[in-house]
């Protein structure tokens, strides 16, 4: 029996791309290297050490001049398994240590990847300080969307899914957007739009959502002049339009207009960059991207799929979801009336 996970790639990476120069002495276990007290496991016989070395050379295709250094066998926290720490040395350099598990009977070695799942997935991305729609902070399901206000796919998702979510789930679902404007060579005014809506969000969450709704619904028109006249979609005109739309919404919401206008003039992108950094940490490379209680969805998906994920998240929270979603049938095809034939003579 052989339990090896990603052994070739891991070992080759350690052996050939993460060299550090130090003496080629037999490695300590990870626990010993950190100063912890370790308990020796069963002795690692020369014959077992040789079998491990031969296996690693074959699986990782190590160069013949390399040296495989196998440390002492120590008791692990996994019942039935000890650990050994292995490094590979060649041409005067030694890899970072790799931890392998050795079964008590000496017939199996394994390399396992551990992941910390102690944190609630819902809390992986904070919604603190963001305008929200739907339910309160205690809502059982939190949906965080990474949004680009110039993105046509985001606009479609916004128009198609979010009204349906609030209609189906009411206050059981809380919806929050984070900013992830794509680069300016793709979406030239997305960053400006993100800054503007956030300037208003600081004073009026309702105004923020009104702007998001409007910009997603009218993205193709943002470049047109606000008064009658020829269409001008140059970037300065677009920026002027975005600022005016935001200013007008601020007036409608009765905010401190002087403060809002100062924010629009400053165009501070610090907060947007912080949101983008969070997206980068979760390997987001496209919009829209949703997290439903931490479960990631990228791109356009069928609404029934989204509903299934939300229903599952509700059950985990001990909340009964609405009845199963049934997709409405397509509209019946319309038939063109047959034109009456002219009466014969």
Q: d(Cα 213, Cα 58) in Å, to the nearest integer?
A: 59
Q: d(Cα 271, Cα 214) in Å, to the nearest integer?
A: 22
DSSP β-ladder status, 67-70 and 173-179? unpaired
Could you tell me if 73 and 40 are in contact, meaning their C-beta atoms sit under 8 angstroms apart?
A: yes
**What sign results for the dihedral spanned by CA atoms 147, 203, 196, 128?**
negative
Q: Which residue has the higher pLDDT, 74 or 30?
A: 74
Structure confidence by residue, pLDDT tens digits, 222-259: 865 555 555 556 899 899 999 999 999 999 999 999 99
Read off the tokens for 173: 């679902």
Q: How confident is the model at residue 313 (pLDDT cuts 50, 70, 90)?
A: very high
Q: Name which of 174, 130, 180 is nearest 293 in CA terms.
A: 174
Over range 111-120, report the average pLDDT: 86
Read off the tokens for 328: 């409405």
Q: Name which of 203, 220, 211 is nearest 177 in CA terms.
A: 211
pTM of the model: 0.71
Beta bridge partners of 90: 93
Q: How confident is the model at residue 216 (pLDDT cuts 50, 70, 90)?
A: very high
Q: Looking at residue 325, what is its pLDDT?
A: 73
Strands (E), 47-172: 67-70, 74-75, 81-90, 93-94, 98-103, 109-110, 132-134, 141-147
Q: Give me the percent of the chain exceeding a pLDDT of 70.
A: 79
CA 240 to chain centre: 33
Tell me which DSSP letter residue 59 carries: H
Q: How confident is the model at residue 115 (pLDDT cuts 50, 70, 90)?
A: confident
Over range 283-312, report the average pLDDT: 90
Backbone angles phi, psi at 142, to 5 degrees: -115, 125
Cis, bond preceding 262 (omega within 30 deg of 0): no
Average confidence score pLDDT of the chain = 83
Tell me which DSSP letter residue 95 carries: P
Q: Give me the percent of the chain exceeding a pLDDT of 90.
A: 57
Q: d(Cα 316, Cα 42) in Å, to the nearest integer?
A: 43
Q: d(Cα 106, Cα 196) in Å, to the nearest integer?
A: 64
Could you tell me if 73 and 32 are in contact, meaning their C-beta atoms sit under 8 angstroms apart?
A: no
Q: Looking at residue 222, what is its pLDDT?
A: 84
């Amino acid at each position: 029996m052989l339990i090896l996970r990603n052994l070739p790639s891991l070992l080759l990476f350690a052996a050939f791309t993460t060299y550090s120069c130090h003496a080629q002495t037999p490695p300590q276990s990870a626990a010993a290297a950190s100063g912890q007290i370790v308990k020796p496991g069963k002795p690692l016989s020369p014959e077992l050490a040789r079998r491990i070395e031969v296996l690693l050379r074959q699986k990782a295709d190590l160069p013949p001049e390399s040296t495989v250094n196998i440390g002492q066998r120590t008791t692990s926290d996994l019942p039935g398994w000890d650990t050994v720490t292995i490094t590979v040395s060649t041409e005067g350099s030694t890899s970072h240590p790799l931890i392998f598990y050795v079964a008590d009977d000496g017939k199996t070695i394994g390399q396992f990847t551990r992941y910390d799942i102690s944190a609630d997935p819902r809390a992986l991305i904070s919604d603190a300080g963001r305008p929200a729609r739907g339910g309160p902070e205690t809502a059982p399901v939190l949906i965080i969307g990474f949004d680009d206000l110039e993105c046509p796919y985001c606009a479609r998702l916004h128009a198609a899914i979010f009204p349906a979510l609030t209609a189906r789930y009411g206050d059981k679902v809380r919806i929050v957007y984070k900013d992830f404007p794509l680069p300016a060579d793709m979406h030239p005014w997305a960053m400006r739009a993100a800054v503007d809506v956030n300037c208003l969000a600081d004073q009026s969450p309702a105004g923020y959502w009104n702007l998001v709704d409007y910009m997603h619904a009218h993205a193709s028109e943002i470049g047109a002049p606000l008064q009658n006249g020829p269409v001008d979609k140059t970037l300065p005109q677009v920026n002027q339009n975005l600022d005016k739309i935001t200013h007008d919404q601020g007036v409608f919401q009765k905010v401190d207009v002087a403060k809002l206008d100062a924010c629009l003039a400053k165009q501070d992108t610090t907060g947007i960059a912080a949101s983008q950094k969070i997206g980068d940490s979760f390997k987001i490379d496209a919009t829209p991207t949703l997290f439903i209680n931490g479960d990631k969805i990228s791109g356009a998906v069928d609404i029934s799929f989204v509903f299934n994920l939300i229903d599952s998240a509700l059950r985990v929270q001990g909340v009964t979801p609405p009845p199963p979603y049934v997709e409405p049938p397509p509209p019946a095809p319309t038939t063109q009336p047959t034109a009456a034939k002219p009466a014969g003579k």
